[in-house]
């Protein structure tokens, strides 16, 4: 699986999380370090498809599977 990585603002991350939460069976987890979404079942079960880690200055380091947001 190929990933795209970039720095995003908190507003951008919250918009991405909101979009992911609208998907059926998408369980976006929130923790002290950020947000994560893993594949629930199938060939890639347990693999991260979205992760946003809290960085400095209110920004996040975001990594997600290519094509996740089209």
Question: For residue 37, what is the enclosing H or E element?
Answer: strand 34-38
CA distance linking residue 27 with residue 42, whole number of Å: 15
The token pair at 68 is 């996740």
Residue 17's nearest CA partner among 43, 3, 2, 31 is 31
Tell me whether residue 39 is in a domain: yes
Tell me whether residue 57 is in a domain: yes
Q: Is there a contact between 26 and 36 (Cβ–Cβ < 8 Å)?
A: no
pLDDT given for residue 31 in this prediction: 92
Tell me whether residue 70 is in a domain: no
The token pair at 1 is 């699986």
Tell me whether residue 28 is in a domain: yes
Domain region containing 46: 3-65
Question: How does pLDDT run across 2-60, given as a tens digit for each residue?
Answer: 999 999 999 999 999 999 999 888 899 999 999 999 887 778 778 889 999 999 899 99
pLDDT given for residue 52 in this prediction: 97
Tell me whether residue 51 is in a domain: yes
Total domains in the fold of the chain: 1
Tell me whether residue 26 is in a domain: yes
């Amino acid at each position: 699986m190929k990933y795209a990585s970039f720095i995003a603002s908190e507003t951008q991350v919250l918009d991405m999380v909101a979009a992911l939460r609208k998907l059926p069976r998408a369980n976006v987890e929130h923790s002290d370090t950020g947000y994560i979404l893993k594949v629930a079942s199938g060939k890639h079960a347990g693999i991260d498809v979205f992760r946003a880690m809290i960085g400095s200055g209110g920004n996040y380091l975001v990594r997600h599977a290519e094509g996740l947001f089209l």
